Amino acid sequence: MLGWPPRSAVSDEQGARYARHLTLPEVGPEGQRLLGEASVLVVGAGGLGSPALLYLAAAGIGQIGVIDDDSVDISNLQRQVLHDTASVGDAKVVSARRRLTELNPEIVVEAHEARLGVDNALGLIGEYDVVIDGSDNFSTRYLIGDACEILGRPWVFGSIHRFEGQVATFNFDGSPNYRDLFPEAPPAELAPNCAEAGVLGVLPGIVGSIQATEAIKIVLGIGEPLIGRLLVIDALGMRMRSLSYSHDPSRPTVTELSEHTVECSSQADVIEELRSEMLEISPADYAERVGSGWTPFLLDVRRADEERLTSLEGTSLRIQHNSVPQRSDEIPRGRDVVVYCRTGVRSAAVARYLVTSRDSEGRVYNLSGGIHEWSDTVDSSVIKY
């Protein structure tokens, strides 16, 4: 549809440009044709959007949309490799379109100089086959997830914070959606700090490239997309782990969009905020230490309906994760605290908040993998849901 000849022919230029794809049995001429006929919307032309856009264009995605309302600043260039010094001051979508069409003049790049919002999300997302989230902020992420659920569009989530990245694919082929993993937006106190905390410059390149890979796999129908799995990347330790999650049967289906206003938390003293990180403890290690006499305060940060399904023995208190800032005085400061949830994602945010927001004599641990990993490695009678 977009630049591809009839099925019986592939031009010499296309054959040369995509030669490494054409020799892959999983791609080949027909797969390359699918890429050329596909459309992908990338929300954000910043750190995550930069590598995703470059690799989508190089791969031959025929129609690429990019939406962003920001301009290129010199501080962006440390990680937003789509732009260069000469682009400083230009609209990011203009800079992106210029760079991508230089890279691959056969594709169509549509620049939307706007902010994705309730007023334009359904109309814009509805024009594309796949969406990549390069916004790296909660408000836009929930909006994308809700719009894609309403429209039945798959989308690829990406997140970066300091030295850690996360990637997952949602709403594809009956898979869970963003709200199944993160039911509600966190309060500002639990939202990762945006500018002050910083990010390792190469990390968005890793995460954004994985996002592009997921989009290409979806278009081609190959491999195993990250559905029901949250990929967590630790750049300092150079480790990756996968956290499993599933549909939340109690979650209502999204039928309309609503505004989500979650701003990044701001701390006056960045050094104090980052002075220490929460610790991780596996369910197996936790069970072993408790068996040896350790008596931590076990905090459940799931919802009440989740607690009714199952809980861990010895739970001291349940506070829904987004209520922790208001009820943190109920959590003792003189004992070790272990925080858990279904998959270890919400609990990690709470544990990090407890470490950075208050002084404590005890240590704060996140139970990695949550109830799912507990069921897999410690006690299979604990229900996975």
Find the catalytic residue in 52, 107, 331, 341.
Answer: 341
What single-letter DSSP state applies at residue 179? H
Chain position carrying tokens 């990250």: 226
Chain position carrying tokens 């794809």: 21
Distance, CA of 382 to CA of 108 (rounded, Å): 51
Distance, CA of 27 to CA of 44 (rounded, Å): 28
Q: How far is CA 109 from CA 2, 41, 268, in A?
A: 11, 10, 41
| DSSP strand pairing (239-244 vs 229-234) | antiparallel
Q: What are the tokens at 40? A: 């992908």
Q: What are the tokens at 287? A: 């069970």
What 265-272 contacts at long range (C-beta under 8 Å, 24+ apart), as own/partner pairs, is: 265/188, 265/189, 265/190, 265/191, 265/192, 265/193, 266/193, 266/196, 267/193, 267/196, 267/356, 270/193, 270/196, 270/197, 272/356
Sorted by sequence, the CB contacts under 8 Å of residue 45 that are 6+ apart come out as 53, 66, 68, 70, 80, 82, 83, 92, 93, 95, 96, 134
Residue 341 bears catalytic tag = yes
Find the catalytic residue in 108, 122, 194, 309.
Answer: 194
Residue 148 bears catalytic tag = no
Q: What are the tokens at 38? A: 């596909």
By annotation, the residues acting in catalysis are: 194, 341
